[in-house]
Amino acid sequence: MPGTCVVGLQWGDEAKGKIVDLLGDGFDIVVRYNGGANAGHTVVVNGKSFKLSLLPTGVIRSNVQSVIGNGVVVYPPRFIEEIESLVKQGGLDVSGSLFVSDHAHVIFPYHMEEERLLESGAEGKIGTTGRGIGPCYQDKVGRRFAIRVGELLQPDHLRERLRFVVPFKNKLMSALAGGTAPKVFDPEAVATEYLTYAERLRPFVRDTTRFLHDAIAANKRIIFEAAQGSLLDVDHGTFPYVTSSSSLPSGIWGGSGVPAKHLKRIIGVVKAYTSRVGQGPFPTELNDGLGEQIRTVGREYGTVTGRPRRVGWLDSVAVRYTAALAGADEITLMLLDVLSGIPELKICTAYELDGSRITHFPSDAHLLARCKPVYETLPGWTEDLTAVRSISDLPSAARRYIDRVAELIGLKVSVVSVGPGREQTIMV
């Protein structure tokens, strides 16, 4: 089984969804193995834009089966909202083609309130999406207060679990509220609400690990879709300003049940510049008019939150680091068209840390915050790239930029994207 993984090599928002969608016809199954509704994938098909945060990108293609693996955390209202939106926007019925792991963990309202309280303080902010992702993963690791999707389908069991969990959560909210009136949750009300959701989820819930193992035995082609970016990986990212799951391909085994030996191709997705949402160090960030220009042209606003993204020059030091961690075989260069009209382009090729020049990436946030970028300057181009479909038709400066990125990262560029549409793609 030739398994493939599409993984972002920056801080997320690299346009992974477009690559998964483009490759969709070559696969039978698309699997999300980490994250939750904090991911944001926008896919444009025939001018119609589909915004997904929890569902795998494969749902857009009727001939592909989509799986939300056990490593994902699921907020049922968002799940229902997205499947209803697919019907409303494009007449897409995913019944029978979308499956949710019975072992995926469930996000409850108290998770979101816990996150809100944690992020409302003056210090210690991570810059989360406020979707309850982190507290849900905390409960998963802590075990005692976690509830999985399969448990939603057992009413008596669910009520019993919530009678145990909710009183503890109420005490926690009271402590976090710091003297202000905390939000109090009623276990019976939460159970009633979620049992209603459970009936909507029931047709989609199954043992997805067994489903995927059967697919492997049948030699089905599987593509794994990472959420967030590699620099946000909980183990190898810019800790503590990271997500709560493994966003590298190393998360596939635990997040889906598919052993690593079945993975044969890893595609690293790289934006032609860099963006970041939330807190944390960002050496190449542009806090000027040029940064605002890139943000505006690139539509750099969060798919999930709508927050303006921080933007900056491409950081080849960071991407070399994540490409090595991911075991990437190739890279795709996305949003190249956004750089049109900028006279000079810069790429970070090294850092200066406490007076010393370094070419390795220090993933500890307190070290990265002290790094100053060392730039290489390349000429820009003025031409509009959005209608270009061949590498040979690109301006020479754009081709030089692509070649230099490939050289600095040490991997071939297999795809160049010059717009959001499927057709706005150059296969190199």
> Any idea of the CA torsion for 79, 80, 85, 86, to the nearest 10 degrees?
70
336 is in an annotated binding site: yes
Confirm whether residue 291 is marked as ligand binding: no
Residues 6+ apart with CB under 8 A from 425: 18, 22, 389, 415, 416, 417, 418
Binding residue per annotation — 69? no
Please pick, among 41, 103, 169, 236, the residue that the annotation labels catalytic.
Answer: 41
Q: Count H helices and E strands in the chain, helices first.
A: 13, 20
Burial 299-322 (b: 16+ CB within 10 A, else e): ebebebbeeebbbbbbbbbbbbbb
Whether 305 has a binding-site annotation, put simply, is yes
Say whether 236 is catalytic.
Answer: no
Tell me whether residue 13 is one of the annotated catalytic residues: yes
Choice among 103, 105, 111, 140 that is catalytic: 140
Residue listed under structure tokens 């599987």:
222
The one-letter code for the residue type at 184 is V
Distances (CA, A) of 57 to 8, 51, 241: 14, 9, 26
Closest CA to 314 of 297, 330, 333: 333
228 is in an annotated binding site: yes
Q: Is 304 annotated as a binding residue?
A: yes
Name the pairing type of β-strands 371-379 and 344-353: antiparallel
Q: Is 210 annotated as a binding residue?
A: no
Task: Count how many Cα atoms sit within 13 Å of the Cα of residue 233 in the half-sphere of its side chain.
Answer: 24
Judge whether 271 is annotated as a binding position: no
Catalytic residue chosen out of the listed positions 13, 21, 233, 315: 13
Binding residue per annotation — 296?
Answer: no
Q: Is residue 28 annotated as part of the catalytic site, yes or no? A: no
Question: Angle 134-52-385 (CA atoms, 0-180°, nearest 5)?
Answer: 115
416 is in an annotated binding site: no
- Tokens describing residue 100: 């949710």
41: annotated binding-site residue?
A: yes
Q: How far apart are CA 274 and CA 86, in angstroms?
A: 30
Q: How far apart are CA 96 and CA 345, in angstroms?
A: 48
Binding site for Mg(2+), residues?
13, 40
Binding site, residues?
12-18, 38-42, 129, 143, 228, 243, 303-309, 335-337, 417-419
Residues with active-site annotation: 13, 41, 140
Binding site for GTP, residues?
12-18, 40-42, 309, 335-337, 417-419
Binding site for substrate, residues?
303-309
Binding site for IMP, residues?
13-16, 38-41, 129, 143, 228, 243, 307
